[in-house]
Structure 1
């Protein structure tokens, strides 16, 4: 493998001069820098990332930790992160699983964005205590090295349940996400409060943020159906699963059952009738998380952010 020693020998300069030139230092003339860069290209020189990391204590890589990669939700979120990080000269690696947690203490990444229920608060706080920079998208943590960029889950849940009440419903099914999910907990808590204020009877069905659990919830709802009802699925994947369960049955979405989701994923626009859902920009959420992480890494002022949401009302909906 070609080293800076080889470049220095061919250029007839010192190793330190090569190092300065490769790092864009003003200590070397433009003419000498151009000569060194040309030789480096000719020799197909590849910088040693590990050595750079030891010297500068940075990798120029950020990590994002996700519980999983499935579903239509994550693409736009990650694109927002990628765009913002690239603007600051950083690259992104996507991590999942316990083994990748060591990337932080081993200094393989400069910081991380967390949307992963497999991290405990205690573990994240321990990394922050050691100086690691973190942005959390799925929990509330207070630490000088941690910034929160959270969805306005409670406003979204309130909008959804109020909409069901405005349609005339007095019976509401709520299909939750997995146990331990921060977003699910926040949405459920607010949905129950809003339903109570609207005088609605609630049935809570445990879900898992996937289509299969939405289909299962739809079948349960049909088994005990006694009149028009609304279903608030705490994400769109489950809402689409519920559509699938009702398809081909005697129960029509928009007539017998009004379904409301959360996330406004792209496929939601192809449901019939079109799904009513809570909308927000996944790309802006990801970009905001990346922006705050860069600020933490650069030791600039970083602040907690809340991502706003709106109700996107579906079509062909009958009011009772």
Structure 2
């Protein structure tokens, strides 16, 4: 592996001069700098990122930690994050799994955006206590080195419930996400609050998993209960809502979705626009979520003061939109 010592030897200059030239220091004349860069190119010199990191204490790399990459949710989130970081001169690495957590203490990344249940909150606080800059998208943590950019789950779930109640439904199924999901917990809490303050509403909670398979299992229970009555289902994400729609289309083709069975999702993924009738869902900008998370993290890294942020939601019914109040 070529080092700056090799460049210095061939260029006939000191190691410190090579280091200054490669780092763009004005202390080196343009003629000498040009000679050094030419030698570096000739020798196929590649800067040692780890060594540079030790010296500058930055890698210009940000990590985003996700529980999963499957489904239609993550593309826009990652695109918004990447575009913002690129403008700020940072690269993005996408991480998943327990072993990838070591990228923080090892100094491979300058900071992290976390949407990953494999991190427990105590672990995140430990990293923050050591000075690591973090933005969390899936939990509430008060710490000077941690910023929260959270989805307004309460408003979204409240919009969905109030809409179904206004439509005349008095039996409402709520299909949750995994028990470990912060977003699912927040949505369930809001759903239960609306049901508790509304007379004669029967709420039935079904534990789901944010996957189409979870929607299929929920649909089996709903259809076993439905018989001749009408009901409504609020799925805590679009994946499960589409799982229900697919199951009913295959197993109960005479059931009229939107009449006998009203279904609402959450996330407004691209697939939601292809259902018939179009899936009513809770909409927000996943790209904006990623952009804002990246912006907040860069501010933290630069030592700027930041406030926690919230991503606002609307209810999308076909082509009409209802905002939270």
Task: State the TM-score, normalizing by the size of structure 2.
Answer: 0.94
3-state DSSP of counterpart to 2:148: strand
**How far 1:315 moved relative to its partner?**
6.8
Residue 304 of structure 1 corresponds to which residue in structure 2?
Answer: 308
Deviation digits for residues 11-41 of structure 1 (CA, Å, limit 9, x no counterpart): 2322111111111112222333233223222
Alignment of 1:212-291 (within 5 A): 212-226=213-227, 227-248=229-250, 249=252, 250-291=254-295
Structure 2: runs of 5+ lacking an equivalent: 321-325
3-state DSSP of counterpart to 1:277: strand
**How far 1:224 moved relative to its partner?**
0.5
Would the aligned equivalents of 1:274 and 1:315 in 2 still touch at CA under 8 Å?
A: no
- TM-align CA RMSD: 1.4
Structure 1, 146-155 or 195-204: larger mean CA deviation: 195-204
Deviation digits for residues 276-314 of structure 1 (CA, Å, limit 9, x no counterpart): 001111111011111111111121222211011111103
Q: Give me the whole-angstrom Cα distance separating, in 1, the residues matched to 2:98 and 2:196.
A: 40
Structure 1: runs of 5+ lacking an equivalent: none
Structure 1, 192-201 or 233-242: larger mean CA deviation: 192-201
In the alignment, does 2:20 pair up with 1:42?
Answer: no
Q: Give me the whole-angstrom Cα distance separating, in 1, the residues matched to 2:69 and 2:7.
A: 43
Residue 144 to residue 315, structure 1, CA distance change in 2 (3 Å) = closer
Please identify runs of 4+ aligned residues in structure 1 that moved more than 6 A: none
Q: Give me the whole-angstrom Cα distance separating, in 2, the residues matched to 1:189 and 1:263.
A: 18
Residue 66 of structure 1 corresponds to which residue in structure 2?
Answer: 66
Residue 209 of structure 1 corresponds to which residue in structure 2?
Answer: 210
Residue 323 of structure 2 corresponds to which residue in structure 1?
Answer: none
Q: Give me the whole-angstrom Cα distance separating, in 2, the residues matched to 1:128 and 1:76.
A: 27
Structure 1, 33-42 or 252-261: larger mean CA deviation: 33-42
3-state DSSP of counterpart to 2:291: helix
Task: State the TM-score, normalizing by the size of structure 1.
Answer: 0.95
